Chain A
Amino acid sequence: MPDYNLRLIIPEIFLFLWALFIIAFDLGTKRKNPKLIGYLTMGGIAATAVLLYLYHGGISFNNMFKSDPLALFFKVIFLGSAFMAVGSSFDIIAQKIKNHRGEFFGLVLFSTVGMMFLASAGELISLYIGLELTTIPLFILAAYYKDDRISVEAGLKYLVIGAFSSAILLYGLSLLYGLSGTTDIVMMKINLALLYLNTNGIGWALLMAIVMVLAGIGFKLALVPFHMWAPDVYQGAPTPITALLSVGSKAAGVVAFMRIFIDGLYGFADAVMFPLDWGNIVAVLAAAAMILGNISALRQKNIKRMLAYSSIAQIGYVMVGMVAVSELGVGSVGYYMFIYLFANMGAFAVATIFNDNTGSDSIASYAGLSKSSPMISAFMAIFLLSLAGIPPLAGFAAKFFVFAAGIQAGYTWLVILALLTAVVSLYYYANVIKMMYFAPDNPTIKLNTPLSANIVLIIGVAGLIIFGVYPEPILNFALDTARVFGF
């Protein structure tokens, strides 16, 4: 009997069981204790992080589950985003969700488990199931306000687009399997290279596989031109779920992209492989994402839609590091996602708090917020400035490394474009800050924040400042993940 090394999946198993426990506990206590189950969920996530620290390093299930540095790094991001999403959803649970409260947290945890399985997948089928396990709970969570038309619309749109993109992805993966004869990603890398060298006839089939897989993952990442679902879904879904979608599920897409493209299709990133060079295809999509995301964000009046377009642009920046296919490239992408976790979760947490207190998502209603709630306004300013990439906040370092990787790999045009669009992005981020600080006084509302949301905000701000001033440890950890791909 082969060694299954079950020890390595203890964190995932624990989190799965904890999700069941949360649902059962809520069912057993008749939904009387929304706060308690919220804190239990946060505790469970923290405990999973500890278990992850204790049990990692190695492979199990015949290379299908890899507990390598890359998986570990991204699992920290997933747990962080789930932690912060749960932390900022207490008021929503108390006010808007009368029913199925335990399931709300349970589904968040299920989705996180899916992300963790996905990050560890060394094989295409496990990767696909991990991806489904990530997105299916999110379909349900997006439609969680069952009586709210736009939430239901968000859930339905996300479901249709998600199912459609899964089908495309699956078709692409089946072509990869057909060409390479294996679902193991490392074996696939070898077989594809051999096949390419030995036969000169796999060009079109491989190109189609690459395009299909790219489209499938592109939908999950909301990469242009597969982004059209994002603004509507982000707007309609409960705000903490939007935050989870924009950070956790996006980071899951990034890690899936890395596993398939940087690992499995490593040989085909180069321009020499024309027309199979996925590097150039992705670079063009990244450019489109940065241009379209930033320019569309300028016109948005709703904070969630604005952040949706901003996250489309952000994934464009991430892809600049990705196409570099180098140690710095992989490392900078990891670092970027790590910083993005704090900034974006923080910004959405503020949007959640604001909506809980005022019932509004419009940017105009943030006018004069600094007078009534100076602390939260200052936090929001920090999150937005970090997203824009202003030093000394961590967002600056993140953009810096990503751009450095791009230049190192010879994508100078892409980096110049990225810099130009980053300047544009400053305008719409600053617009919110201008509203909060310099708008003529509106009748203002004092924002009440529950303790858990305060924890989330403090984690966000602390992360941005600490890792902005002192990026080395995380950056080294992120660069270490590139070892997985042999850089």
Chain B
Amino acid sequence: MFETLFPILFLVGVAAFIAVAMAGASIVFGRRTSEGAKYEPYESGIKPKGDTRGRFPVKFYLIAVLFILFDIEVVFLYPWAVIYQKLGMFGFVEILVFIVILLIGYFYILGKGALKWE
């Protein structure tokens, strides 16, 4: 258990170290000033007008949803890839059916022009 997870834990440790080190270094070595301009989203440049949280058009959403659906499809491929040699031809046909059905979905998206940026 621990052995299999060690690489991941190591990676997490390295990531945490880098993050802490960077933030810590700027605290230790940095010079601190506190002027009004420091607290604005963009310190140097034009004064911000309004809010950063504008409304998104729905087309962004469509792309995101389609991405997630194919992402979920890919998730099924991971376990398949792990035991693909044990499954042999049977597993190949199985995953082929799965992918072909989703490929129909992909062609549908293309046919509808849902990926066109209007």
Contacts and interface: CB of A to CB of B under 8 A. Distances in A.
B93 to A, nearest CB: 11
A314 B79 CA distance: 46
A177 B64 CA distance: 34
A27 B90 contact: no
Contacts of A27: 108, 111-112
A1 B94 CA distance: 13
Contacts of A20: 104
A1 B108 contact: no
B90 A1 contact: yes
A244 interface: no
B108 A23 contact: yes
B101 to A, nearest CB: 9
B87 to A, nearest CB: 11
Contacts of B112: 27
Interface in A1-45: 1, 20, 23-24, 27
A1 B88 CA distance: 12
Q: Give chain A's interface residue range (CB within 8 Å of chain B).
A: under 10
A37 to B, nearest CB: 15
A1 B87 CA distance: 11
Nearest to A100: B112
A71 to B, nearest CB: 22
Majority-rule SS of A interface residues: helix
Contacts of B104: 20
Contacts of A23: 108
Contacts of B111: 24, 27
A228 B112 CA distance: 36
A20 B104 CA distance: 9
Interface in B79-118: 90, 104, 108, 111-112
A1 B111 CA distance: 38
Nearest to B108: A23
A1 B112 CA distance: 40
A410 to B, nearest CB: 48
Contacts of B108: 23-24, 27
Nearest to A17: B104
A107 to B, nearest CB: 12
Nearest to B90: A1
A197 B1 CA distance: 37
A429 to B, nearest CB: 43
A120 to B, nearest CB: 18
Nearest to A1: B90
Nearest to A106: B108
B97 to A, nearest CB: 11
A24 B112 CA distance: 10
B115 to A, nearest CB: 15
Contacts of A24: 108, 111
Interface string A133-174: 000000000000000000000000000000000000000000
Nearest to B105: A20
A117 to B, nearest CB: 14
A24 B108 CA distance: 8
Interface of B: 90, 104, 108, 111-112
- Report the 8 A-B pairs with minimum CB-CB distance, sorted nearest first: A27-B111, A20-B104, A1-B90, A23-B108, A27-B112, A27-B108, A24-B111, A24-B108
8 contacts: A1-B90, A20-B104, A23-B108, A24-B108, A24-B111, A27-B108, A27-B111, A27-B112
Given A27-B108, A27-B112, 6 more contacts: A1-B90, A20-B104, A23-B108, A24-B108, A24-B111, A27-B111
